Structure formats: structure tokens, C-alpha cells
Chains A and B, each alone.
Chain A
């Protein structure tokens, strides 16, 4: 390499002409002059404080004081971990007594996604409730079709979060015992948007009081608003060291690319976790944090910020767009530029899009294949979860087998076990991760049970 300070003929460094003279700062002076930009300090909290950008949670506390709403708190019993968000603000992530707010896309076609999450929780003795009294957030349909509106979305948000608050009563536990954990990125973004609109609009709150009142879902006549809207990937992030302790498969040879989900970190960006220990806090921490902690190599690529191409309606009715985008701007870049072994995501729509839209690349003669998994599926896999019974990798269209080969997992044998196990399942002897009687907390099918565990 040539000396950067060497000047070659024809290359002048002469300022504005003959009057130029060197300021001749010493190397130390030069370094000192820009040292301020190199300091890794408490910078985001210092520079973008709440005088500059509004924190909707402050509006919540005020409305609670005014007696308009009740805030469902992340309390000590939820054993919260404090994290920092984009501007250095605090966010409380509950780690136990969690109410699973499932994702329809995950449950519908990537069932290994929630299963892996629940399996990890079982490994770590995390208390949770998975029940039938919940709806989709309805935001996929809304963003895709335009059917729905701010009132319907807000009402669904308030209804589901109210159910999370009262579900514990079925077990004879106090209200607020369980804290909602949102599985879907679309729901996570949507619920935070709705919370923000609710805090800003007295009119919307008034409408909601009427509707939620009709459903019997007010608390002391007030709307119930969660202190934090929490995504499962945030839970996984704060639990990453605990998870890594349970890792049984070496994954240091794995080159992982991360696909961060737009509705997770771009929507309400001030609420996304940035962690100094994860890429110096310059990229959203979830997924990257757990993958690094598990020991994989996280590889950057030039289209990291791009969306997956899901498009809500595009994946159904504008498929050329979705598959072109997924292949050309994500999968092919990860394979050819980053030489990735896997792409890891943390949202329903992205995983579906990136996983399912690879086969069609054969059509233009440039086939591309890259295993696509959710962060919690990868974590479960390397912690010894069964690749089919738990990770349910057979629902993935992408070549998860190549990843398992590289991890040294004998997937053919595991698959044969699973196919054998299907006979037990067909005979009604399937295994479950929790007592199925707990899944109904009221209405048809409800039977009163004692307190858990």
C-alpha cells in the first residue's frame, strides 16, 4: 500500500494558490481536534432528549394522572430488564409471566416460530400463558386491503391487551399478572401506532371508551394502555446470555445475515432497542444480539436496510414484485456478497416472503438458495431443540437442510424420527409444551384449573 501522505506529481495540495501555507498541525493536534467524534459516550441520550422528540409514554403518565386511562405496568414480578432505545431512552422488557399474543402468519404457516419460542421459555422455566381468547391484530389485512380503519385497529388493540390483563383471573391470579408479549412485527408496529394515536386524540379515546365499554373491557371505566409494547425479539434479546448458556451446538462457522423488519424498528423508531454492545449501537440490536451471543458470525450486506418485499397485498396479488424484491435485493445479495449460510429475521411477513420466494429464481436460470429462519428458531435449534418436532423446519421452503448440515445436525435421521412420531400424533398421542387445559380462560370450553405450577 502506498503512503497516504505521499504527494504525486500533478496532484496539488495548494489551497487557494500562492498564498497557501501549511497550518502544520501536529498529529496529536489533528487527533485531538476530532477526538470528540470518536468518543463512545452516552451520546444518544445526551443529544436527543425528550425535549426534542416526544416520548408517548410521558403522555400516558399524564393521562393516567388525569384519571382517563389505566396503565398496565411492567412490574417487578415480571422481572424486567432495562434496555436503551434509539435515543438512549429506557425501555422495560418483562422476562416472565408473559401472555403470548400470537401471530396469525406465524401460526398459520411457520408454526416452528412460536413453538421454538415457547420451547426456549420452557427450557428457562419462564411462566407464560397461551390462550384462545385473542384475535389477530388485523393490521395485515388493513395494510393490504384498506378494509379497517384507525378505530377498528385501536379497538382490537385495546381488546386484546385487556384480555392479557384479565386472563390471569381464570387461574385465580390477580389482574395484570401476565404481561402481553407480541409475536408479530406487524402487530408490534401497529399497536404502537395505535397507542400513539390514542394518546394524541381525545376524540379517539372517547370513541374507544364507548366501544370497549360495550364489550365490557374497561378497567374501572378506563381504557387500559400497556406501559410498554413488547416484541418477542426484545425478550429474546435480553435473554440472550441465558439462551447462550444452553447452546449445545457450535455455530462459530455460521455466517449469518440479519433481515431487520420494517415494522419492528422503522415504525415508531424511538422505541427500537439499540445496544452499545451490538454493532456499537449503530444498528437495531434485536436478532443481531442473539446471533452474536450464540457465537455466529454476523455479516453485513449492502441491502441490510431494504424491506423484504412482503407488501401485505403484494405477496398475495403482486407476486412478481414480492419475489423480485426478495430475490434481487435480499437473498441474492446475502448469498453473493455476504456468502451467508442463513438469513435470520424477527417478523412473520419477512420470514414468509424470504423463505417462500426462492424456488422461483430457477425460472430465470439463476437459482439462489438460502435458509431462512426466525432468530428464536435458530436459537432453539442450536440449544438442541428437535429440528422437526420443535423447530418445525419442514414448513420452510428454503433449504434449511444445508444449514443443518453445516451445524452437524443429522437432519435425515431427525426427519425419520419425526415421520415415525406422526403415527403417535395420528393416534392421539402427540406431545405438548404445556397443559392444554390452560388454553381456554373463559367462554365455551373453559374449565377452572388451579394455579399454575
Chain B
């Protein structure tokens, strides 16, 4: 005795349930496919260099309305909106430092043009922008090969802070090497160094912090960087303040007293 053979309420209920299931299946499949396309599109986001003040990747992906007003208001017109089918997520602003670096306008017009806050107005000084981090390929850097290049150091707008020169003495008949070093506490990721680098493919490049920066971990104690004595006075882990940039590193650690007894 099947419901469908009987006209009346049961058959209608069955039809309704089947319709409901069909509708749900259609919505579910379509929804999953749509969600997959979105996630796939967002996958390349970690590789993009965003304008100054851009929120963290996930927040920026969510907040950017893809209007391009930052692009219009950028004085050197270096910002681009990614068209469909490109290598970065669709419609959002990015720049390529090798062809067009950020010139670090003091009034940050791109950030001011952003209507949604995806380029956060909490950025007050352009020197505090962290668009990316300059990374040197020391195998192909002219300075590291022993030539007197140092163009990146001279072009850097955060003079003497973001890129410093270190001298490496060599044997008697060669002059010392003057090698550039990048400091993440000052580098804004503007990319003027990458643009200026004279090698065929830039030996200094801007990459998003996430792709290049490591993290030392809180359990390492660099005892020699403090002039205070390392003692056994140990604070329980709960009492230790979370280490952030600028947070005080606990001065003491357990079981390292022997380091101070002249053994090393």
C-alpha cells in the first residue's frame, strides 16, 4: 500500500516532502559549489601586497567592497584592482613594487578614500604602515657578491632605519663587503628598494609578513641581552605577561643559572 497510489492528503504530503528534499538538495549542492568558488578565489590572498592600512587578510577580504576609490586617489597611480581570472583574489586593490612602489604619501590618500574601513583609518602615520617586508636574496644581491651597489640602502625612504649597511671585512687585496640588512621594525614594505634594485630580477623584494617572518617562541631566554642577573626566581606561567611587540620579556628563567657561572 503505497502513499502515492492513494489520492488525498498522504500523497500530497509525500509530494511536498519530496519537493522539499529536492529543493534542499538543489540549494545544498549549489551552495557548496558557490562556497567552494569563493574559498578558491580567496586562496591567493596571502600573496597580495595591499595598500597601507589594510586590515589583516581575512578581515580585508570581508570588508573590501571592491570600489577602487583607493586606486583613483593614489597620486602615482600604482594601485590596481585585480580583474577576474588573475592570480590574486578578484576586484581588490594591490600593487606590484617592481613596476610601481608606494611612494608613501604623508597624508595617505588611498586610506582616506576607502569608504568601508578596509584600509583602516587607525593608521595615522605612513611610517607605521606594514604593507610587506623587504627580503634580500643574498645569493644574487650585488652587495653580497662584493660589489659596491647599496642602491636599496640609499633609496630607502626610512633612511638608515629600515635598511642598514654592515661591513664584512675580507682578505687583504679585496675591499670590505658592504651588505644591506633589512629591519622589520622600520620597513613599511613600500617597495622603493625593489623598484631600484639593478639586478635583472630584483634581489630585494617585498613579501607579505606572513610568508617570511618567523617567530622565536616565548620559551627562549636571550640571557646575554640583559644586564640583569639571571636567577632562579621564576614566575609561574600564568603570571607571565603575554609577549607582544614591546612587551617586557621575563627576566628570569629556571635552570639556566649555570650559564652565569663562567662555564661558557
The finding on whether chains A and B are genuine partners in a shared complex, rather than unrelated, reads: no
Residues of A within 8 A of B (CB): none
Residues of B within 8 A of A (CB): none
